[in-house]
């Protein structure tokens, strides 16, 4: 099918893009990599009167360190994030999740901001953002606000971005010493959206005791699920198999997935348990071997 008629607007500065968004509000959609929006237009599931193309707007891409955090421009291509040495070093969880998004051709065009703004319930990046406690910077002609990852994802395909606002940047905390992380998912074929995905992080103290941990899941509900009860099992003890098992059980208990043509709710719940256990075990092993660690794994 062909998309419905729309006016194509191609601003060449951020101010111009924000002014257009302010003027056209709910009637406008911004075009980033087009990997989700163009199919939606062609299926006529999206019918914007105005399409505002961000691809000629300078200053919306790039990866840098700011105030000790990693700041990634919304228009940074997914492939650029995937291949960034800075991301690999300072945010290995994000680096590990990136190649699990679709195929390389999709990541060459798709942007980090587009994926987060689209908020697919099975996407990898929302779970990564939730596990890391990332922040999303949104801007409009009226100013800028910073939204925490858990507040950003509101419901199925819906975020806290209001009409007239643009996601301009993503901020992630850099990893502390003696920390490890893992992103694991199961999908039916390579490149498919995850049936279930788990992002896990873990920080050890100098004695090898878990000082902090986080678990977030994708594919198990309309938004990413932060499984606090699961991560809490680890904190205050030396990580080990029994704790990973219990964390998996709690993660499964924390989610209410739905059945669809790809998988039953029961199978998704089973995956939540298994992937949480494995992701935490991998994160713990990585934390034990990470720089600055005098401790050894239990």
Question: Residues interacting with ligand FAD, by CB under 6 A?
Answer: 29-37, 74, 101-102, 106, 110-111, 113-115, 117-118, 120, 123-125, 161, 166-167, 193
* Nearest residue (CB) to ligand FAD, 30 versus 184: 30
Cα separation, 256 vs 233, in Å, equals 20
Q: What are the beta bridge partners of residue 77?
A: 111
CB of 295: closest distance to ligand FAD in angstroms?
A: 35
CB of 229: closest distance to ligand FAD in angstroms?
A: 26
Cα separation, 99 vs 191, in Å, equals 9
Collapsing DSSP states into helix, strand and coil, what is residue 158? strand
CB of 105: closest distance to ligand FAD in angstroms?
A: 9
* Nearest residue (CB) to ligand FAD, 29 versus 282: 29
Residue for token digits 């694991």?
Answer: 184
* Nearest residue (CB) to ligand FAD, 115 versus 179: 115
Closest CA to 185 of 124, 113, 258, 269: 124
CB of 115: closest distance to ligand FAD in angstroms?
A: 4
* Nearest residue (CB) to ligand FAD, 147 versus 287: 147
Residues contacting residue 208 through CB under 8 Å, at least 6 positions apart: 238, 288, 295, 296, 297, 298
Strands (E), the chain: 7-9, 28-31, 50-53, 63-66, 69-73, 135-140, 143-148, 153-155, 158-159, 166-173, 179-186, 196-204, 210-218, 225-226
Cα separation, 154 vs 245, in Å, equals 30
CB of 216: closest distance to ligand FAD in angstroms?
A: 14
Collapsing DSSP states into helix, strand and coil, what is residue 72? strand
CB of 112: closest distance to ligand FAD in angstroms?
A: 8
* Nearest residue (CB) to ligand FAD, 86 versus 186: 186
* Nearest residue (CB) to ligand FAD, 28 versus 279: 28
CB of 31: closest distance to ligand FAD in angstroms?
A: 5
* Nearest residue (CB) to ligand FAD, 35 versus 223: 35
- Tokens in use for 201? 């992080």
């Amino acid at each position: 099918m062909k998309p419905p008629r729309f006016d194509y607007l191609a601003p060449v500065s951020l101010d111009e893009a924000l002014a257009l968004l302010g003027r056209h509000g709910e009637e406008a959609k911004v075009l980033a990599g087009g990997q989700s929006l163009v199919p939606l237009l062609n299926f006529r599931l999206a019918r914007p009167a105005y399409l505002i193309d961000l691809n000629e707007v300078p200053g919306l891409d790039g990866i840098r360190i700011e105030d000790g955090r990693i700041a990634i421009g919304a228009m940074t291509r997914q492939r650029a994030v995937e291949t960034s040495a800075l991301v690999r070093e300072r945010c290995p969880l994000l680096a590990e999740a990136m190649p699990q998004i679709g195929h390389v051709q999709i990541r060459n065009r798709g942007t980090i901001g587009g994926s987060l703004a689209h908020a697919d319930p099975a996407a990898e990046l929302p779970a990564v953002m939730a596990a890391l406690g990332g922040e999303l910077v949104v801007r409009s002609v009226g100013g800028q606000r910073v939204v925490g990852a858990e507040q950003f994802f509101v419901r199925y395909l819906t975020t806290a971005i209001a009409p007239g606002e643009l996601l301009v940047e993503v901020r992630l905390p850099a990893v502390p010493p003696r920390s490890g992380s893992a992103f694991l998912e199961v999908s039916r074929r390579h490149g498919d959206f995850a049936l279930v995905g788990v992002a896990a992080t873990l920080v050890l103290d100098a004695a090898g005791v878990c000082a902090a941990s986080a678990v977030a899941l994708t594919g198990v509900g309309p938004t990413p699920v932060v499984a606090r009860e699961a991560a809490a099992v680890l904190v205050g003890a030396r990580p080990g198999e029994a704790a990973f098992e219990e964390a998996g059980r709690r993660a499964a208990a924390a989610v209410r997935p739905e059945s669809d043509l790809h998988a039953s709710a029961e199978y998704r719940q089973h995956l939540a348990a298994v992937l949480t256990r494995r992701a935490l075990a991998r994160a713990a092993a990585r934390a034990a071997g990470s720089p600055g660690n005098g401790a050894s794994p239990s």
